[in-house]
Structures are given as structure tokens and as C-alpha cells.
Amino acid sequence: MRLSTRAKYISYIAVLHLVLIILVANLLSKNKPAFIASEVFLLLSAAASIQLYRNFMQPIQFVKSGIEAIKDKDFSIKFVPTGKGEIDTLIEVYNLMIDQLREERTRLHEQHFFLEKLIEASPISIVILDYDERIDSLNHKAQEQFGQEAAHLRGKALNETNLPLLQELADMQDEDSRVVKTNGVVTFKVQRSHFMDKGFKRSFLMIEELTNELLESEKNAYGKVIRMMAHEVNNTLGATDSILQTTRNILTDPDFTELKDALGIASERNRRLTRFMRNFADVVRLPTPNRTPADFSLLVRDVSTFMQAAASERQVSIHLFLLEVPVVQSVDTGQMEHVLVNVIKNAIEACVSGNVIEVHLTQSLLLIRNNGAPIEQQVNASLFNPFFSTKKDGQGIGLTLTREILVNHNFSFSLKTEEDGWTVFRIEMEG
């Protein structure tokens, strides 16, 4: 068993004085005055040794008490000077150190509190990861963005979540920045960075939705171009068609029959070009929806019946899965009818003989799905881009108008081919 410094010192003093007492007793036993004086001196020496030991141990006790206070994170304990030079110097240094530690802790707590409040109040979604690259916490904006799924994200890696956005961000590295489209419309700017926590690096994601800003900027850009094109083309076509019609009326001689036919074809091409430009202009002129409560299930049924003839021509069947009770939604009936016609029309065109189109409707969700040709992965992100089309003679107007109408109704939507091979147009309405 190892002895402490205190035990060694006491043992040493005790043995030393015991030896001295024995020596004095042997040497001065016959000289009683000298013997008594020696014994008194030894007792005084022992008392002095004890006092010196206490003086030596006092700084150690101060240090020990200070270490215990620091270990307990109690920075309120300070020592009062004793009047002894060496000890007071130690006390002064300790009190100065404890004041600095207390101020530093207070400053760090204030900064941490401010940072927490700043993160919570941020209009940008912030996802903080732990040391193992798993989700540790989300700020208020991120919880709103991810909805009910947010409660189940803690402890999961990004690629283990059920959210396509987070799955797509799993391969991002620190200091990377990326623009992501989740359903061809909703657009996010994502930046990944890191901070130091207890000497180790922890990453976080800042997710900012740009959808409204991009759509507005995009609409302003193509709106200006369309208005300019429509003005120039319509002015030219109007005058040209007038000349063509006048010329046809003048050419009454049978010898000019072929020329009249050619002029008629040219006039028809003019009218087609006029309709073409009118379709483009419709995107710009789309009015704000006049929303009124309507039975959405009745609207879905009527449009499906209307599109049944087109489906039958391709030997494609349309099956409805509607609720028995009315589904009342506040919508612009005319605009939503245009959406349904366009979506079902696209579904029919993606199908061949024997394929099926299913229309599922609940109180807040509409699914129009088909098992026709799937949407290619590289095309998916561009589906709702203005005037983008995969059809040979397509103008890309239908999905652009559909996008504008649904955005103006504040309805969430997506179009993609799922893992089971079915292509689904999903519209989430107000519950």
C-alpha cells in the first residue's frame, strides 16, 4: 500500500523526534537540567513541525477545494486572503482564474442561447446532424416543411428517411451547394456546412425554398417574350390573312382554282399559327382563380365521362374510385376542369391498348394513375418547365397551365413513375 505525502511526513517527524528523545535520554540522563531543557526543546520542535506542516498543506487544501469546485462547474466559490504572502498569491491567481471562467461560461451560454433563438426563428429550414452523420435536430421551419414525418427523423441517416429531398442530399459534402427539384416544380437551394462541437466536426444543412421566387421570375421572363411575339405575329398574320382572303375573292376565274386552293391552305396555316400564339398567351393571361365551394367528386366524374370516348379509341379503360359522400373543395371549377382534362388526356396518350387509368379521390387527395409508358428519369425534373414537351408536335403548354392553376390554388402536386411502374399525378388539396 502506497503512503500519502502527509503520512510519510508525519512518520518522518515522529521517527526523528523519537530517535532524538532516545539519544538525549542516553546522553543527558545524569544531567537533569540539560535533559529537561532538551526534552522541552524537542516538544517545541514537534509543535513547530506540526505548524509548518499545516502551513505547507494549506495551499494544497485551497488547490484541492478549487479543483473540486471546477469539477462541479461551480464558478461562484472564491477564497478570502489569509494575510500570508505565498498563500495570498495563490488565492489571488485562483480568484482571477475563476472570474475569467465564470465570465467565459456566461458569454458562451449567452451566445448559445442567442444561436438557438436565431436557428428557431430562421425562415430557412436547418437540419443539424450528429457526429455519425445522423439527424440530431430540426428547427421550427424544418419541422413545418417535413410535417408529420419530422417527428420520426431523429437518429436517421439522410438516405434512411422517407423524404425524397433528404435522400437526394445524402451524397452532399461540407461546403457543397445545390439546387434541387423534388417534383419538377418545388425548388430548393441547399447548402451543407459544419461547425466544431467539443473539438469534433458536426455538419448541418440549410434548405431554402425558392419555388415562388423562381416561378415569378420565370413567368415574368417568358411573359414578356410571349407578349412581344404575340403582338408581332398577330399584327402580321392579321394583315396577311386579310390580303389572302381578298385575293381569293378576286380570283373568280376557274383557271385560278389551284391558286385559290393554295391561298386557302396558306390562310388556314395563318389561323393555326394564330391559335398557336393564343395558347402561349393563355399562360400569361391566366386570371386569379375565382374559388367557390364545389362538389369535386362530381367534377371528376363529369370530366372522366367526357374523356371516356378518347380513351375508348385507344382501347384504354378509365376506372373511378370515388367516395360515396360529396368532396367539397373551394376551387375555380373552370380552371380545375382544364387541369383534369389535361392530366387525363396525357394519361391516355401514355397508354396503349389494354392499359388502365385509375382515378382515386378522397377528401383531400386526388390520384390519377396509369400503367402506360413510364416517365424517364432524366425527363422527370423538366416536366413542368415552361414549354417543355416530350411529344414530337407538343407545345408544352398543357403542363405549364396545369402548374400555374394548381400553384394559384395553393395545391401541392407531383408527377412521377413509381417503383411499381404506375405513373401517378398526385394533387394534395385542402383538407
- Are the C-beta atoms of 58 and 85 separated by less than 8 Å? no
- Residue 146: CB partners within 8 Å, gap ≥ 6? 138, 153, 163
pLDDT in the model for residue 281: 65
Between CA 261 and CA 102 the distance in angstroms is 97
Between CA 410 and CA 428 the distance in angstroms is 9
- pLDDT (tens, 9 = 90+) of the chain, 431 residues, equals 566 666 777 777 778 778 877 777 777 767 777 777 777 777 787 787 777 777 666 666 766 777 777 777 776 777 767 666 666 777 777 778 888 888 888 887 787 787 788 888 788 889 999 989 999 989 888 888 888 888 888 889 998 888 888 888 888 898 888 888 776 667 788 899 988 887 888 899 998 887 666 666 666 666 666 666 666 666 777 777 777 778 877 877 777 777 777 777 777 777 777 766 666 666 666 778 889 999 999 999 999 998 998 999 999 999 999 988 889 999 999 889 989 998 999 999 999 999 999 999 999 899 999 999 898 877 776 777 666 676 666 666 778 888 888 888 889 888 888 888 899 999 998 75
Cell of 63: 488547490
pTM of the model: 0.55
Between CA 397 and CA 389 the distance in angstroms is 8
Residue that has been written with the C-alpha cell 376551387 in this structure: 331
